[in-house]
Amino acid sequence: MRQVPEVRAAAVPAKHEKYPWPEKPVLLSTDVKRLDGPVKASGRAKYAYDIKRPGMLFAKVLRSPHPHARVVSLDVAAAEKAPGVKAVLPWRKTGEKVVYQGDEVAAVAAATEEQALDAIRMIKVEYEPLPHLANVEQSLRPEAPSVFEGGNVKVGAAEESGDLAAGFKAAAHVVENTYNTQVVTHACLETHGCVCEWNGDQLTAWVSTQAVHGTREGFAKALNIPITNVRVITEYMGGGFGSKFGPDVQGIICAQLAQKAGAPVHLLLDRKEEHLATGNRPSAYAKIKAGVGADGMLTAFDAETWGTGGAGAGSGYPLPYIYQFPNRRRVHKDVYINAGQQRAMRAPGHPQGCFITEVLMDELADRVRMDPIEFRLKNLPEQAPNAMWKAYFPIAAEMIDWKRRHPTGDPAPGPIKRGLGVAANRWGGAGRGTKAHAEINPDGTVIIRCGTQDIGVGTKTIVAMITAETLGIPMDLVTPQIGDSNYPFSGGSGGSTTAASVSPAIRVTTGKARDALFARIAPQLGATPDALTVADGKVSARGGKTVSWKDACKMLGTEPIAVDGEWEAGLSASGTSGVQAAEVEVDVETGVTRVKRIVCVQDMGLVVDMKTATTQIYGGIISCVNYALFEDRILDRNTAQMVNPDMEWYRIAGMSDIPRIDVRIMNQPERGVVGIGEPPAVSTAAAITNAVRNATGVTIRSLPLTPDKVLAALERAGGTN
Amino acid sequence: LKAFAYVNAANEREALAGLDAQRGRVMPIAGGMDLLGLMKNYIAQPERLVNVKNLDATIQASATAGVRIGAATKLIELIEHQGIAKNYPALVTAAEEVGTPQIRNAGTVGGNIMQRPRCWYFRNEEFHCLKKGGARCFAVEGENQYHAIFGGGPCHIVHPSSLAVPLIAYGAKFRVVGPSGERDIDAGEFFQLPADNLMGETVLKPNELLTHVILPASTSMKGATYEVRFKQSHDWPLAMASVVMTMDGNRVKSARVVMGAVAPIPWRTEAAEKVLAGKTITEAVAVEAATAAVAGAEPMTQNSYKVQVARTAVKRAIMRAAGLQTV
């Protein structure tokens, strides 16, 4: 599984020489509606799930019910004879091990989905159950059975800087606590999967993926066929959040079943499979000792941290987050358990590091009796274009009317306690590598092709905006084409890299197309190419003629302009800063927290589309409200089987659970484009937890903030009523 | 989903003819809100379904003689019925909080009462639990944060019906028909503890049908339901309570207090009822009754917080029934 890491680059690049972003843009940084909003809202958009091919079969995967077992025998004879079955694919060989519930064992393709479901139940598998580990506590026991090769725990190297002993000596107060966050799954609205169709040795796959090119390579490698024999199409996708970078096991199974059956095969997972086997955000634990001086300056930070990314996968995260501890030490260990493996998930590691650090920050602020924002301002890094928190905290405070905040513990009578909290976030979000192709037709229409995909960015919309901006034409003349590996290369949509990779490529490519147009038509306008400009749907020669865009394009005769271009430096940057504040109500007689309001101050360099940027931020915040309150992958502590692999007990906010959200976007046009998918999803949970602390006077150091934890903390603090 | 035969019953007689004495072989289906999920998860694998949507779905209300509700009545029709809203507020509040708009539009009164438990060990095929003929209740040493705090086991589900709670509080009867004729059963006698019936949750036999809910006249009754839930949209209650008080002026003549989501059956608490009898309701009286209501609770390893949640639900239901302000 290839993952796109946080990509970092210059905070403010040297301006692009040939095609810098316009100083007075017409479309950029305005509100433009998502071009494909209507087809999505009306159900006309065809997702991988919706693809229907002639003679298409439906496939289902048989998965291990055991968290750890050896396959003793696998008998597919009955399934092969079952009604409607066209192909059966044993996936595990006899003697191989499965290491989590949901691990793939075999698969079936049949004429209907129901027949495939019935048929996988006819596959007879004999398992030899092996000792399993259901949670980190079990793995960390000295007497734990050795389940994973090389050990159940992998201890990392210590990260150290400064003089820890001196730091604690300088501390007026020391806080020591343990914090933790839960495992959550990506819970994509569209589950993972694809439709595979072979034409001879050519494979076409309609995949729900956030990387059409990466998935093409993935198929080629796993099937041992040339990359040129694979085409991956993703016109629309229903969410990935970091979990959809390749064909995955089910993609390879789908392709092999299609080959075996000689027919197209549809293999989209169900919700249970989605929770069990398609990735998750690792848990995080941190035992921390931190010191603060009487003046409110942080002095020392000593942390032992651990977490689980499931069966043999890591659980790293940044800590401490953003704030400056001059003397620090941290040792992390990855703890393995028999559960599905982690995958990158919306700002990998940051929500964990943010939660732990920001809750600690409020506890330290109380020790020195300082306002949490004032305390943070003292301990933030120096301000820079990619480190703007000192400017943003006061704006967030103004937006949420911070001055009404009472000290920790709402003194108001009655069971409903109100509180405010804050937290900051950061992310890289640089781009690179994208290529594009542009054609200007003699009728004035423009096609722009790019092998990227839309994971939620509004990619088609920003491609069309930048094209229209560069050519000085209305957007409806532009046809953006994305989501096909036959289009020019673009990387996976991860690490918030899409906008910062694609936007410069489109700017350069359409700039080159414009120059090529000028070169072709300049003689007919009686001017030199460098005397031509475009704006307002017109081409003008300096001191000479002005013609409409359409008339200018007619001068091309029958031969369109066709140019290729790619990402170049000078149009994108790295590093975002954001601050969020939360307002909550906690019912101290039931332990139920309701989030009333979130405010968000966020930058992302040059804003391409103000509207899709804002809706990206809404989505991030809502996902982090879920992280704060609701989402939790719960494994039975005895069997290591997931008890809530559904949308019933795996809770996700509905409309009535989503607070009012106010977003203030800080445009930084001089920096160029920076991605925004990740950062808003980082700090909401920390801000909510701090608001709950402010409301109730008790600190919950564990996510999610379920009623049992709130009531238990209140009980420890002296009862509720 | 196992293939099944389908009988479209036009009336009670045809429906009864379609049923079968063997548990699980034939099942009635109305809205299918619960049954289809059970079938898709291979928890229920009936050979035949009998559609009972065409049976009585009317609400017959009279000011003096009470109300007769056909089991096929949809929850939305119950919620929108003006007479019910006026005279049985505890029932309507409970119905309004069921599921989602889609579930309330398609789900029926009978289906809500007869739905199977939401226990995650029961609903997931991997766990061969007591209720599925297995040897143990996985909740006891497992993840029991949403399980019972009353009832004594050996199975620790909470009963999922929100309507059953106020129906018992109002003293409703259920009309049941079967091969040997019809009978009315007190709602309070209808539900069975696991110790008495492990494979089902009610006295209804597999070849019988629940056809009507009969509510007594609500003259001089004051009632309210309070549900504590974690999510505001589509969620199950952590605990709920329905309180119906027969009033003598400002004083409570008699009361019924029933808790939901705390036991394998709707859990009536006579200790709380005794506290209320003869009293004028104040917050202090409500707290006293609520404390009495949860006095015998036996929480499991992860769910002691539910005692406090249930207590709050009872307190607030009493106060609301009395017209006092609560959050």
- Interchain contact A653–B (C-beta under 8 A): yes
Q: Is it the case that residue A543 has pLDDT exceeding 90?
A: no
Q: Is it the case that residue A516 has pLDDT exceeding 50?
A: yes
- Interchain contact B317–A (C-beta under 8 A): no
Q: Is it the case that residue A14 has pLDDT exceeding 70?
A: yes
- Interchain contact A111–B (C-beta under 8 A): no
pLDDT score for A518: 98
Q: Which residues of A touch B141 (CB under 8 A)?
A: 637-638
- Interchain contact B274–A (C-beta under 8 A): no
Q: Is it the case that residue A86 has pLDDT exceeding 50?
A: yes
B213 by Cβ neighbours in 10 Å (0-12 / 13-18 / 19+) ranks as buried
**Interchain CB distance below 8 Å, A657 and B143:** no
- In whole angstroms, how far apart are CA A221 and each of A217, A218, A234, A341, B144? 6, 5, 19, 21, 45
For A627-636, letters b (16+ CB in 10 Å) and e give: bbbbbbbbbb
Which residue has 């919700």 as its token pair?
A: A271
pLDDT score for A719: 56
Mean pLDDT by 10 residues, chain B (327 residues): 93 97 96 96 96 97 89 98 94 97 97 98 98 97 98 97 98 97 97 97 98 95 97 96 97 98 98 98 98 98 98 98 93
**For an interface test with B, which of A418, A584, A636 has the most B Cβ atoms less than 10 Å from its Cβ?**
A636
3 state DSSP class of A357: helix
- Interchain contact A644–B (C-beta under 8 A): yes
CB-based contacts of A191: which residues, under 8 Å, 6+ apart? A49, A208, A268, A269, A270, A271, A273, A274, A278
Q: Which of B126, B230, B327 sits opposite A414 (nearest CB)?
A: B327
- Report which of B63, B84, B64 is spatially closest to residue B213, judged by C-alpha positions: B84
Partner B, chain A 403-442, Cβ-Cβ below 8 Å: 414-416
- Interchain contact B149–A (C-beta under 8 A): no
Q: Is it the case that residue A532 has pLDDT exceeding 90?
A: yes
CA–CA gap between residue A708 and residue B311 (Å, rounded): 14
DSSP string, B263-284: SSS-EE-HHHHHHHTTPBP-HH
Is the distance from CB of A122 to CB of A79 less than 8 angstroms? yes
pLDDT score for A195: 98
Q: Which of A592, A656, A706 sits opposite B228 (nearest CB)?
A: A592
Q: Which of A65, A630, A654 sits opposite B126 (nearest CB)?
A: A65
Phi-psi region of A18 (alpha: psi -120 to 50; beta: other; left: phi over 0): alpha
Pairing of strands A592-603, A660-666: parallel
Q: What percentage of chain A exceeds 70 in pLDDT?
A: 99
**Omega cis (within 30) before A226:** no
Q: Which of A636, A712, A721 sits opposite B142 (nearest CB)?
A: A636
Q: Which residues of A touch B2 (CB under 8 A)?
A: 118
AA letter at A323:
Y
**Interchain CB distance below 8 Å, A589 and B312:** yes
Q: Which of A121, A642, A657 sits opposite B232 (nearest CB)?
A: A657
Q: Cα angle at B47 between B43 and B52, to 5 degrees?
A: 90
Average pLDDT, integer, range A31-60: 97
DSSP string, A215-280: HHHHHHHHHT--GGGEEEE-S-----TTS-SS-HHHHHHHHHHHHHHTS-EEEE--HHHHHHHS-E
Q: Is the ipTM of this complex over 0.95?
A: yes
pLDDT in tens, A481-511: 999 999 999 999 999 999 999 999 999 999 9
**Interchain CB distance below 8 Å, A654 and B120:** no
pLDDT score for A8: 72
pLDDT score for A5: 56
**Interchain CB distance below 8 Å, B231 and A653:** yes
Q: How confident is the model at residue A6 (pLDDT cuts 50, 70, 90)?
A: low
CA–CA gap between residue A706 and residue A630 (Å, rounded): 7
DSSP string, A495-544: TT-HHHHHHHHHHHHHHHHHHHHHHHHTGGGTS-GGGEEEETTEEEETTS
Cα B50 vs. chain centroid, distance in angstroms? Answer: 22
CA of A644: which chain B residue's CA is closest? B120
**Interchain CB distance below 8 Å, A117 and B1:** yes
Q: Which DSSP letter does residue B164 get?
A: H
Is the distance from CB of A203 to CB of A265 less than 8 angstroms? no
- How many CB pairs below 8 A link A and B? 100
Partner B, chain A 657-696, Cβ-Cβ below 8 Å: 657
CA distance A679 to chain B (A): 25
CB-based contacts of B284: which residues, under 8 Å, 6+ apart? none
Q: Which of B124, B234, B238 sits opposite A643 (nearest CB)?
A: B124
**Interchain CB distance below 8 Å, B308 and A589:** yes
- Interchain contact A594–B (C-beta under 8 A): yes
Average pLDDT, chain A: 96
**Interchain CB distance below 8 Å, B233 and A591:** no
CA of B312: which chain A residue's CA is closest? A589
Average pLDDT, integer, range A181-210: 98
**Interchain CB distance below 8 Å, B327 and A415:** yes
- Interchain contact B185–A (C-beta under 8 A): no
pLDDT score for A506: 98
Is the distance from CB of B218 to CB of B88 less than 8 angstroms? yes
- Interchain contact A224–B (C-beta under 8 A): no
CA of B302: which chain A residue's CA is closest? A708
**For an interface test with B, which of A58, A100, A589, A633 has the most B Cβ atoms less than 10 Å from its Cβ?**
A589
CA of A711: which chain B residue's CA is closest? B305
- Interchain contact A75–B (C-beta under 8 A): no
Partnered with residue A448 across adjacent β-strands are A438, A480
pLDDT score for A256: 98
Q: Which residues of A touch B1 (CB under 8 A)?
A: 114, 117
pLDDT score for A714: 96
CA–CA gap between residue A9 and residue A606 (Å, rounded): 15
pLDDT score for A721: 39
- Interchain contact B238–A (C-beta under 8 A): yes
Q: SS3 for A79-130, per residue?
A: HHCCCCEEEEEECCCCCCEECCCCCEEEEEEECCHHHHHHHHCCCEEEEEEC
Instruction: Answer yes or no: pTM beyond 0.95.
Output: yes
Pairing of strands A69-75, A124-129: antiparallel
Q: Which residues of B touch A706 (CB under 8 A)?
A: 145, 230
Q: Is it the case that residue A270 has pLDDT exceeding 90?
A: yes
- Interchain contact B102–A (C-beta under 8 A): no
